[in-house]
């Protein structure tokens, strides 16, 4: 039998061409459709061919990669964000920052209330014995553990994934580095961007990881496992809807003393929808800047507040972190009193302000909140894996809430300033009537 070198080269070239087409199709397809496909394949394989350890290994590797990168991500992102925080050029910039942080706390508090009204129980593997968990006996022990974690050596905190210590050291170093030179800040920016890129690479593998996680759950516990995921999605999305349609309008009314819903609904329509599909607050910045321009807001203010909001205004992330950590505590039978829940709200708000700008970034901060209840990192990362399963819906809603609130609070702060200091805007022809927020705006 004679071999034809030309034919072999043709086959190889055709194979390379096919691989390039597959790679282009993979890169062109959004993360959500790929996760949905992975979810469906995991369900089908879990029902049809249970017991294949190779498929379950995909989920284990995915969770392990997240566990490895999460501590470094929290430390660098928070430190880099704080070292660049500067005062705005206008007096109402301070109001905007206060609204951003207040919104995070109120969103976390809403999640705590929702979790008490509709407690969720997750199905976790038995890789870590729950008997080894020592939950705090009360708020005094919580505060003691919190303070001890804060003063832990930062290197030890990185090695042991002590998220409370990492957050504390990142905040202190970030504030101290405000006085650093531009070269140091650029270095932190580059490091932050590099770690964020690594996280993006890992999250790009989410379809395979979720395939393995869903396969393991279905093959071990059956299709009934999906019911708990549905309940979790309802609580998460319902809480975010409550924040968007009840909490935010109350905050806006306190600032403007006028009907807030025309402005709230306009922000949801023009900003939420695009952010829902892009799943990135950073990618939605140009849309938000255009909305502020159409609203006639001060450019010196919104040119700073909108990019800043994409970094620290994370109400949806605060909801996710609080809900998922309380679900883990409820699953393990850990009783959470109200003072401890209040501490969780503050912690969730602070950690949400440093959430990564990539899809699913807030999920990597769940272990920090779980550590408040003495939940080991191994179990907390299982909760993160469940978060990626429900993230097909949760992350899109979270990003939409985060991004639309950037515009909402920026507008609310300026309208408050106009109400309190009308002399500053005496000759200003900018939009001032909140009852008709689309007046003068293109349809």
**What's the pLDDT at 225?**
61
Q: Please enumerate in sequence order all residues whose Cβ is within 8 A of that of 320, keeping only pairs 6 or more positions apart, or say none.
A: 111, 236, 362, 363, 366, 387, 394, 398
Render 167-191 in DSSP notation, one character per residue: HHHHHHHHHHGGGS-HHHHHHHHHH
C-alpha radius of gyration, the chain, whole number: 24
Give the position of tokens 């708020």: 139
Write out pLDDT tens, residues 82-119: 676 554 444 567 888 889 889 988 998 999 899 888 88
Both tokens of 417, joined, read 């300033």
Write out pLDDT tens, residues 239-291: 999 999 999 999 999 988 889 999 999 999 888 877 776 566 666 777 788 88
Write out pLDDT tens, residues 308-359: 777 678 888 889 888 988 888 888 888 777 777 778 777 777 766 655 555 5
Percent above pLDDT 70 for the chain:
74
pLDDT higher than 60, residue 408: yes
Write out pLDDT tens, residues 16-28: 777 777 777 777 7
For residues 245 and 233, give the distance between their C-alpha atoms in angstroms, rounded to a whole number.
Answer: 18
What is the dihedral angle through the alpha carbons of 46, 51, 52, 57, rounded to the nearest 10 degrees?
Answer: 90
**What's the pLDDT at 442?**
34
Question: Which residue, among 432, 291, 328, 338, has the nearest Cα to 109 in the 3D structure?
Answer: 338
For residues 341 and 137, give the distance between their C-alpha atoms in angstroms, rounded to a whole number.
Answer: 13
The two counts, helices (H) then strands (E), for the chain are 19, 0
For residues 332 and 412, give the distance between their C-alpha atoms in angstroms, rounded to a whole number.
Answer: 41
For residues 396 and 308, give the distance between their C-alpha atoms in angstroms, rounded to a whole number.
Answer: 20
For residues 325 and 367, give the distance between their C-alpha atoms in angstroms, rounded to a whole number.
Answer: 8
Both tokens of 165, joined, read 């210590």
For residues 43 and 33, give the distance between their C-alpha atoms in angstroms, rounded to a whole number.
Answer: 15
Can you give 387-403 as a three-state secondary structure string? Answer: HHHHHHHHHHHHHHHHH
Contact present, 306 and 285 (Cβ < 8 Å): yes
pLDDT higher than 50, residue 67: yes
Go through 47-66 and write b for each residue having 16 or more CB atoms within 10 A of its CB, e for each that does not.
eeeeeeeebbebbbebbebb
Give the position of tokens 């920026």: 410
Burial of 46 (0-12, 13-18, 19+ CB in 10 A): buried
């Amino acid at each position: 039998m004679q071999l034809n070198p030309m034919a072999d080269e043709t086959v190889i070239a055709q194979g390379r061409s096919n691989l390039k087409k597959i790679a282009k199709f993979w890169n062109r397809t959004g993360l959500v459709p790929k996760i949905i496909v992975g979810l469906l394949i995991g369900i089908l394989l879990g029902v049809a061919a249970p017991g294949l350890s190779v498929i379950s290994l995909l989920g284990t590797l995915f969770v392990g990669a997240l566990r490895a990168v999460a501590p470094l991500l929290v430390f660098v992102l928070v430190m880099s964000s704080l070292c660049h925080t500067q005062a705005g050029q206008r007096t109402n910039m301070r109001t905007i920052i206060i609204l951003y942080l207040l919104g995070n706390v109120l969103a976390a508090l809403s999640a705590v209330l929702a979790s008490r009204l509709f407690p969720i129980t997750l199905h976790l593997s038995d890789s870590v014995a729950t008997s080894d968990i020592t939950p705090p006996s009360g708020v005094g022990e919580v505060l003691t553990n919190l303070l001890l974690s804060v003063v832990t050596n930062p290197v030890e905190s990185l090695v042991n994934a002590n998220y409370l210590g990492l957050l504390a050291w990142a905040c202190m170093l970030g504030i101290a580095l405000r006085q650093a030179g531009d070269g140091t800040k650029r270095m932190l920016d580059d490091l932050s961007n590099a770690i964020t890129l690594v996280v993006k690479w890992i999250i790009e593998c989410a379809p395979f990881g979720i395939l393995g996680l869903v396969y393991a759950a279905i093959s071990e516990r059956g299709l009934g496992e999906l019911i708990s995921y549905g309940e979790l999605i309802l609580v998460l999305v319902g809480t975010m809807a409550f924040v968007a349609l009840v909490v935010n309008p109350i905050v806006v009314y306190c600032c403007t003393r006028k009907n807030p819903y025309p402005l709230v609904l306009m922000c949801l329509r023009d900003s939420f929808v695009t952010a829902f599909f892009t799943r990135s607050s950073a990618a939605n910045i140009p849309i938000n800047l255009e909305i502020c321009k159409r609203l006639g807001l001060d450019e010196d203010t919104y040119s700073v507040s909108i990019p800043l909001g994409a970094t620290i205004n994370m109400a949806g992330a605060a909801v996710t972190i609080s809900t998922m950590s309380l679900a883990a505590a409820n699953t393990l039978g850990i009783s959470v009193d109200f003072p401890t829940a209040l501490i969780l709200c503050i912690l969730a708000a602070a950690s949400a302000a440093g959430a990564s700008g990539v899809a699913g970034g807030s999920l990597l901060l769940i272990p920090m909140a779980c550590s408040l209840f003495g939940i080991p990192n191994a179990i907390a990362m299982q909760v993160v894996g469940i978060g990626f399963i429900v993230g097909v819906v949760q992350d899109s809603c979270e990003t939409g809430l985060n991004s639309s609130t950037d515009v909402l609070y920026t507008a609310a702060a300026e309208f408050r300033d106009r109400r309190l200091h009308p002399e500053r805007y005496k000759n200003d022809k900018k939009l001032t009537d909140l009852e008709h927020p689309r007046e003068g705006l293109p349809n």
